[in-house]
């Protein structure tokens, strides 16, 4: 949950770098909360309103953590556009997100693994 809330706190911050753990934990918790709202919405018959509100509130943090994750691999945030390439784009995008970050400093900041207090 710490990684999820750290992404939410950096709501519109595309500066710096995000470790794999921060990115993937945010994705996991985000999906779980989304499904929770889907199930709650289904139970109270609200036609996906809760899910739509939650999704709209987390679009920007999701994009920003993706940009910071790309920065950790020393890539520009524009690499997100590779997802629009049919079929191969998703494969390339997932493989880039699974790569280990650049050791030491890179063009986008200091190594988050080397920062005291980060896990």
- Is residue 118 scored above 60 in pLDDT? no
Confidence of residue 111 (pLDDT cuts 50, 70, 90): confident
Average pLDDT of the residues in 37-41: 93
Q: Is 106 helix (H, G, I), strand (E, B) or coil?
A: strand
Domain annotation covers residue 29: yes
Task: For residues 8 and 25, give the distance between their C-alpha atoms in angstroms, rounded to a whole number.
Answer: 12
Domain annotation covers residue 104: no
Domain annotation covers residue 73: yes
Domain annotation covers residue 67: yes
- DSSP code for 109: B
Domain annotation covers residue 108: no
Domain annotation covers residue 105: no
Domain annotation covers residue 83: yes
- Is residue 41 scored above 60 in pLDDT? yes
Domain annotation covers residue 20: yes
Task: For residues 66 and 24, give the distance between their C-alpha atoms in angstroms, rounded to a whole number.
Answer: 10
- Enclosing H/E stretch for 55: helix 49-72
Domain encompassing residue 89: 2-98
Confidence of residue 2 (pLDDT cuts 50, 70, 90): confident
Task: For residues 29 and 41, give the distance between their C-alpha atoms in angstroms, rounded to a whole number.
Answer: 18
- Is residue 114 scored above 80 in pLDDT? no
pLDDT tens by residue, 51-99? 999 999 999 999 999 999 999 999 999 999 999 999 899 999 999 999 9
**Average pLDDT score, the chain:** 90
pLDDT for res 13 = 85
Task: For residues 32 and 2, give the distance between their C-alpha atoms in angstroms, rounded to a whole number.
Answer: 15
**Residue 96 backbone dihedrals phi, psi, to 5 degrees:** -65, -40
Share of the chain above pLDDT 90, in %: 68
Q: Is 69 helix (H, G, I), strand (E, B) or coil?
A: helix
Task: For residues 4 and 73, give the distance between their C-alpha atoms in angstroms, rounded to a whole number.
Answer: 20
Confidence of residue 115 (pLDDT cuts 50, 70, 90): low
The total domain count for the chain is 1
């Amino acid at each position: 949950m710490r990684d999820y809330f750290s992404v939410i706190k950096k709501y519109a911050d595309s500066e710096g770098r995000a470790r794999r753990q921060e990115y993937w934990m945010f994705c996991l918790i985000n999906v779980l909360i989304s499904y929770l709202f889907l199930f709650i919405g289904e139970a109270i018959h609200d036609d996906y309103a809760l899910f739509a509100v939650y999704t709209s509130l987390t679009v920007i943090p999701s994009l920003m953590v993706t940009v910071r994750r790309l920065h950790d691999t020393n890539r520009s945030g524009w690499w997100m556009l590779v997802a629009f390439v049919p079929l191969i784009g998703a494969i390339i995008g997932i493989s880039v997100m699974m790569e280990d970050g650049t050791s030491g400093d890179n063009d986008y900041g200091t190594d988050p693994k080397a920062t005291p207090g980060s896990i």
